[in-house]
Each structure stands twice: as structure tokens, then as C-alpha cells.
Amino acid sequence: MQQSKKNRFWKTFFIFNLTILIIITSFVFGVVVGEETEKERGISNAGGLVLNKDELPDYLSKDADFNLFWEAWDIIQDSYIDRPISETKLLYGAIAGQVASLGDPYSIFMEPKTAEEFAQELTSEFEGIGAEIGIKNNILTIISPLPDSPAEKAGLKAGDKVYKIDDADTTYLSLDGAVRLIRGEAGTKVILTIFRDGQDETQKIEIVRGRIHYETVKWELKENNILYIKISHFNQDTADLFGQAIQENLGKNLQGVVLDLRNNPGGFLGIATDIAESWIKKGDIIVVEKFSQNNKNYYKSRGRAELAALPTVALINEGSASASEIVAGALQDHGLATIIGKQSFGKGSVQDLRHLSDGSNIKLTVAKWLTPNERMIDGEGIAPDIEVELTEEDYSSDRDPQLDKALEILND
């Protein structure tokens, strides 16, 4: 009797939470790159269109029967070898499976501890190896190692394909699962088996995890008053640090600006648009958020444009993704910068981060990013105006032909 009551309680609890989850995921409003938008806006047909209906298998076209779910729940609870099983564990697994069924590597469910670690990472301080990872062509890939991080010091590079994390094969591993395996306490070790384009075989890289703290903006005044600004992430402190760099140098008869977005995996949309406004005049489009063909949101500059008159070169590479692609694409479309380097990563989807009542999160893809001229970023990336390679030999010898080319253009 008691067990029956308990089961009814958990079924009621689960249905309530699942209903709330369905409401959230069905009527979600647009938010971006890990940050909720600063304003509410309605989205017509938020659930999107179902294409190729005729091609759906019959069993996927039927109405959902939640009795089937409870049949599976009861079988597990009654028959699994390692009973008893935590109902919360099953609940989290069910929600994670629901999100994973979308087949989108950037839509994930985060349990409370993972959600807390994710929030810490966005404050520029966390424990781990210090590398941004993503899924590209269905392969776990290093988007970029952070400057001076354990990952960078161990030799990881943007574009490295990760085939194993310690002994775990990554072929069918979700992005969230990979993050869980790679993260860990400072002082512990993880071994990544990677493949690098141009090499004949995989290699193992041992990395000692550390406490990661990094400044997202560094600057230097180059010869002939060329201001070099390196942005490694668009995090909470980035706009203030960037603003300080500009204010310290505007009165120095600047002759040009190099904006280095190489190995910048992205961050907050609001911070990226703040940075772009230093070049883009009031009312001009910075980025377009596309929910459907007829449902788009246009982010426009509020118009400081204090750097608009200065010749500018932006540097990008395979590790430039998301928010950094938004900035580079906006400057390119408006003719405000020459883009130098290599084709960027191509991560142009919009994730809406929603906080659930117990501290867990759902990060859900709700839209795509387009440049001001409505070029697709996702899967395409930003092509440089001038392609310049930075080879392994250059890297090992502390040469930077991409930066050299930028300075050459600005000094002509």
C-alpha cells in the first residue's frame, strides 16, 4: 500500500514537472549564446514547422501515450538488477533523453551541479583544462584552448578532433557528457586522444587540470600607434575591459586597430553587440536572429561608433565561433574591417538558457544567427577577406604571419 502511494506520488510529481518542461520548451522566447535576452518578445509558431511529414515512420506520427513511459518506468523499478533506483536520477535521465532526442549537439539538459559549473565558466573562473569544445561534422572537436590554460600548455589546438577521453570513446558521446568527463578538480589528470589535420595518426595528450582564471581582454600599442586588442571570450567582464582599453588609447593619435578574435569560442550576445557598437553606427544592423523564414529579430547598434573612422583588421581562425563570428560578420558586411586568417568555426545557432526550479538548466537551440546581409553563420562560418595560414612551424617558432599581415595592411 505504501509503495503504491509512493509510486502515485512520483508519477504525479513527474507529470507536473514534465508538463512544465513541455510548456517551457514549446513556448520558449529567444535568448542567446548562453544568456537570456534583455527584453521579452513574442515568437509566432515557436514550435517551428514539421517538414517531410510523409517521411515520418508511422510509429513517430502517433499521439504520445504516457502509459508507455510509465510501463518502462515500472519495468526498471521492478526488475533492474541494482535496485533501488533513485527516482530523481530517472527523472533527470528522462528529461535529458527528451532533449537529446532533438539530435542537436547544442541543446542539452544540465543537472544542478553541471549548471553551477557552467555558470562559473561564464564568470572567467572555473576548474578544468581550459578548452572550449563542440561537435563539428559529428565529431567532438576543440573549438579553442584558452590562453595560458592547461589545454594550451599541453599542446591542444583549435580543430583537434577528440576520439577518446581517457578510455571513453567519444563517437556517441553527447557534448554534455564530454564536458562532464573532461572537467575535474585542479591537480587531476585527463588524457585526450586526438587527431590533427595534416598528421598521419592520433596522439595522446595528457593534461593536468587547473584552476582557470583568465582576462578576456588584452591590449598592446604596436608601432605607428596601431592598437592591438585580443578578446578571448565574450564574458561578463569583457565589455568593461574593452571599454577601458579604448578609453586609455583614444587620445594617442591612433592610426588603426587590430581586433584579434582568433580562438574566441563566443559568449554572451549582449557583450558581443556592445563591442560591435564601437564600430557600427546607430541604427545599423549588427546581427539577425532567425526563428523561421518570416520570423526574424534584428539587433541594431545604439551607436557609439568611436572606432568607425579608424582602419581596422579583424583576425579570425578555425577557433573563432558564435559571438566572435557575429562581430566579425558584422564588421565585414558593413565594410568596417578587413578580415584576415582562416575560415571560422561556423557555430551560428542560438541557445536559450532556461533555469528550472531545482537549479538544473535546459540549454535549447531556438534560432540561427545571420550576418547583417543575412548570410548564414551556422555550418558556414565567416570566410576571411585575405586568407593567411598559421602553420605548426610558425606556432612553434613564435611567428604570427596573420598578425604580421594585419600590421602590414594598416601601415601601408
Tell me which residues are annotated as active site. Answer: 322, 347, 351
CA distance 208 to 214: 17
SS3 307: coil
Angle between helices 87-100 and 66-79 (to 10 degrees): 140
Beta bridge partners of 387: 341
Cβ–Cβ < 8 Å for 149, 129: yes
Helix (H) or strand (E) holding 276: helix 269-276
Beta bridge partners of 351: 365
Angle, vertex CA 160, rays to CA 237 and CA 330, nearest 5: 45
N- to C-terminal Cα separation, the chain: 85
Which helix (H) or strand (E) segment holds residue 290: the answer is: strand 285-292
Virtual torsion, Cα 19, 114, 143, 125, nearest 10 deg: 130
The three three-digit cell numbers of residue 382, written as one number: 565567416
- Residue 29 neighbours by CB distance under 10 Å: 16
Length of the chain: 412
